[in-house]
Amino acid sequence: MSSSDNHNTLKNKKRLFLSLFSSILLVTAIVSIVAGVTSSKNSTESNNDHQVAHTILKSSCSSTLYPHLCFSALSAVPDATSKIKSKKDVIDLSLNRTMSATRHSYFKIQKLTSTRRSFTERENTALHDCLVMLNETLDQLSKAYQELQDYPSLKKSLSVHADDLKILLSAAMTNQETCLDGFSHDKADKKVQIIML
C-alpha cells in the first residue's frame, strides 16, 4: 500500500470516528437534558420569543457534559428558536438531530464497507459490527422519540417517564461506544483516536 493510500485510509477512518463520536456526544447531551428536566422545578410557558427559546436552550445544555457542543449543534438547526418552547422541545430537537447524525454515520460506514478494500479483516469486522450497533441505536432512539411524543398521555409520572428515556438513551450510548471500541486494537486506529480527542 502506498503512502497516499495510507493517508486516505487514515483520513477516512478519522472522518468515520468523528461522525460516530459526535453522535455519542449528542446522545450524552440528551441524557443530561432528560436528567435536568426531572430535577428542574420551574417550567417555561410557551412563548415564541427568540430570547426565551435561547434561554431554554442555554439552560438545558448547561446541564450536559458538553454544553458548547449541545448548544451549537441545536442552535444550528433551522428555525430552532421557533421550535423551542420548553425543555421537552429541546429533547425532541436533540433526538431528531441525533437520529439524523446516527443515520449519516450508518450510511457512511455502509458506503465505506462497499467501496473500500483497504481495510484489514479485523477492521471490516469492526465496521460490520458498527452497522449492527448503529441499527440498534436508531431503534432505541426511535423508541425514545415515540416515548417523548406519547407523553403526557401515558399514565406515568414525569420521573418514571424520564427514567425510561434515560434507559433507552443509555443503551444507545453503549452501542456507539462499543462500535468505537472495535477500532481500538491496532496502532493506526489508536492514532486516529488520539487525533480525534
Residue 165 in any domain: the answer is: yes
Percent pLDDT > 90 in the chain is 4
Residue 126 in any domain: the answer is: yes
Q: Range with the lowest mean pLDDT among 135-149, 158-172, 174-188? A: 174-188
Give the total number of structural domains in the chain.
1
Q: Which of 182, 195, 188, 192 is nearest to 1 (CA)?
A: 188
Residue 142 in any domain: the answer is: yes
Q: For residue 23, what are the domain limits?
A: 3-39+88-196
- CATH number, domain at 141? 1.20.120
Residue 10 in any domain: the answer is: yes
Give residue-wise pLDDT tens across range 85-134.
888 888 888 888 889 888 988 888 888 888 766 777 877 888 888 899 99
Q: Range with the lowest mean pLDDT among 2-6, 58-62, 73-77, 107-111? A: 2-6
